[in-house]
Amino acid sequence: MVLRRLVVLETKYTVYSSGSGTHSPDDSFVLPANTFIDKFVSCLETKSIVLKSKPTPDSDTPFDGSDKLAEWFSRLDKAGTFSLLLDPTLPEKEKALQEFTLKFTAPWGLAFSSSAEALKSTFGEQGSTIEIPGVDEQLKLYCGLLPPDSDIKSTVKDAFEYVGLSEVVEDLPSTLGGLTITLAAKEIAGNRNTMWFEPAYSLQTIIRLQFKLDNQSDLEEIFHDTIPGFAITDATVVAKKIFTQGITAGGPIGVDKGSVVFVADCTISNKGEETQTKMKAGIEFSGSSITLRLKMSKPDALQAILTWLGDLVVIGLSTDEDKNKPTLESFRIDTEVAGNFGQVNNKKPVFLASFVWSAGPYGGMGSTIRAQLWNSFTTSPCRTLSPYYEAYQDLQPFTPNPGTSISLETLIPGQTIEIPDRVPSAINRGYLVLTNTGVSIGATIETVEGVPPGNVPQPYLGQVRLDASYAWGKESEFDFKLGIQTGIQPSESSTHQLPALLEGEISYRRVS
């Protein structure tokens, strides 16, 4: 009798981008052209994803060990497992690849999924705007954190080490590193715990995890003497790991550098007053410095904040022999000012007015006042999908339906100024800066609409830019720059319809 062993070899299965050529349908799937997922895969080194076996419609199929994408994710965790859900039999081929699942074991057991359910749980309704299987128009993959089986306990020190900031741990206040933090299984939803992957941007992988700080009193104690009146009611720790491919003489490497921010609900109160002003705070530790950002939730809190900051300046200038205590080095306050002039479609222009105070050497002081036309804000609800979005940094105008430019035609309230055609009439950049040593001003005026083609070429003045500064002291210095942009719009019968542009700039400087 002869015994023979039957060996079954699993055939690898490959998912290709549409531009990779023709492949056998038995062991491969070609993504439909002009879809986000097709463009995403085309950004990968091999323009493909290799699976261990032919996928089945109802279960995830693991990546093969030879796959370059799996190799990259393995740099985060060698014991991690990565898979995707693919149903090649679906008549709608653009929906065949349904989701990615990425599981890590170290330093914590975490699983991320790009399924529609996971993204909606992570981002709320905005998660529904991301197309299956979790890739957007920027060819970025979104994977929401799946609830773990149990709460994950860790420490602040572990969070810093996870994001690649081990060197910062030594500079943290002694009581901070050992504080415990919790990633609660029942509180995963809505907290933007996410993994983003962007292959076209050096394989950049960003993982954001939001932990609850179990005891905020020790964090509050750090600021007790330096900024009295500051109290923390609740605090979380946002650990953001940024892992990017770097190229060296020895080949590609993973560069690990991220951030840890303490985000707190807090209050401030002035000495002798019982009224507490609610704020949102972001606290960052970097080397020997601590940055505290406070965002007020109501516009009527400004007076209380100014009074509080005024008291802090007095404390910051006092002498303290304890070198281990943090001292106030500087502060900045930004506030909104709305104008009733220069409205466009009844939209009030808004200005961001800023005051910066800094404690100089030997007890000196420095201050800066700045006002600028505020039009850099983003009101899109989808801004929360960005890995760089944080609520405490999201500064938005309180003015309803704010404008983004100033119209010269309505510059005087109640009157309309006649502006000749083809002359700039909208201010979209304007600022004024006043310091201890000088003053600076600047503005840009542009045409509101392009010049339509006519029977003959149409000349127009498109833009005027002005920047000037004056500094005083032992030597006075005056700088002046004037720039213009003009154009000629071709006629309707012209072969070339793009306008001809001419730019020029005049610069003047005097030192005396």
* Distance (Å, whole) CA 100 – CA 209: 19
Q: What is the per-residue pLDDT across 394-441, written as a single tens digit (0 to 9) for each?
A: 988 988 889 999 988 888 887 888 887 778 889 999 999 998 889 999
Give the rounded distance of the alpha carbon of 32 from its chain centre.
31
Can you give the pLDDT at residue 333?
A: 87
Identify which has the larger pLDDT, 100 or 320: 100
pLDDT band at 132 (very low <50, low <70, confident <90, very high): very high
pLDDT at 381 > cutoff 50: yes
CB–CB of 383/322 below 8 Å? no
Asked if pLDDT for residue 292 goes beyond 60, the answer is yes
Share of the chain above pLDDT 90, in %: 53
The chain-wide mean pLDDT, for the chain, equals 88
CB neighbour class for 370 (10 Å; exposed up to 12, middle 13-18, buried from 19): middle
Beta bridge partners of 426: 407, 446
Confidence check: pLDDT of 319 > 60? no
Strands 230-248 and 204-213, sheet pairing: antiparallel
Contacts of residue 424, Cβ cutoff 8 Å, sequence gap at least 6: 408, 445, 446, 447, 461, 462, 463, 464
Amino acid at position 113, single letter: S
- pLDDT surpassing 70 at residue 392: yes
Report the pLDDT value the prediction gives residue 323, as an integer from 0 to 100: 46
Instruction: Give the model's pLDDT for residue 9.
Output: 54
Output 274 or 221, whichever has higher pLDDT. 221
Q: 62 versus 296: which is more confidently predicted?
A: 62
Q: Tell me, what's the pLDDT at 422?
A: 77
pLDDT of residue 314: 64
Average pLDDT of the segment spanning 300-307: 82
Whether the upstream peptide bond of residue 107 has omega within 30° of 0, thus cis, is: yes
Go through 114-132 and write b for each residue having 16 or more CB atoms within 10 A of its CB, e for each that does not. Answer: bbbebbbbbbeebbeebeb
pLDDT confidence bin for 360, thresholds 50/70/90: low
Span of 176-185, 190-199, 328-337 with lowest mean pLDDT? 328-337
Indicate the pTM of the whole model. Answer: 0.87
Residue burial 225-236, b: 16+ Cβ < 10 Å; e: rest: ebbbbbbbeebb
Nearest CA to 61 out of 76, 49, 44, 47 is that of 49
Q: How does residue 365 score in pLDDT terms, banded at 50, 70 and 90? A: low
Strands 28-30 and 13-16: parallel
The answer, yes or no, to whether residue 137 has pLDDT greater than 90, is yes
More confident: 362 or 217: 217
Percent of the chain with pLDDT over 70: 94
If pLDDT is split at 50, 70 and 90, which confidence band does 317 have?
A: very low
**Whether residue 451 has pLDDT greater than 80:** no
When pLDDT is averaged across residues 15-40 and rounded to a whole number, the result is 89
What average pLDDT does the segment 103-123 reach? Answer: 96
- For residue 368, what are the CA distances in angstroms to 48, 274, 316, 353, 360? 54, 31, 18, 11, 13
Confidence of residue 5 (pLDDT cuts 50, 70, 90): low
Q: What is the pLDDT of residue 315?
A: 53
For residue 275, what is the DSSP state? -
- Residue 98 pLDDT: 95
| Nearest by Cα to 27 from 11, 38, 40, 7 | 11
Report pLDDT digits (tens) over 62-105.
Answer: 999 999 999 999 999 999 999 999 998 888 888 899 999 999 99
**Average of per-residue pLDDT across 16-28:** 84
pLDDT at 10: 63
Helix (H) / strand (E) element for 130: namely: none
Hey, what are 272's tokens?
Answer: 């002798």
The pLDDT value recorded for residue 310 is: 80
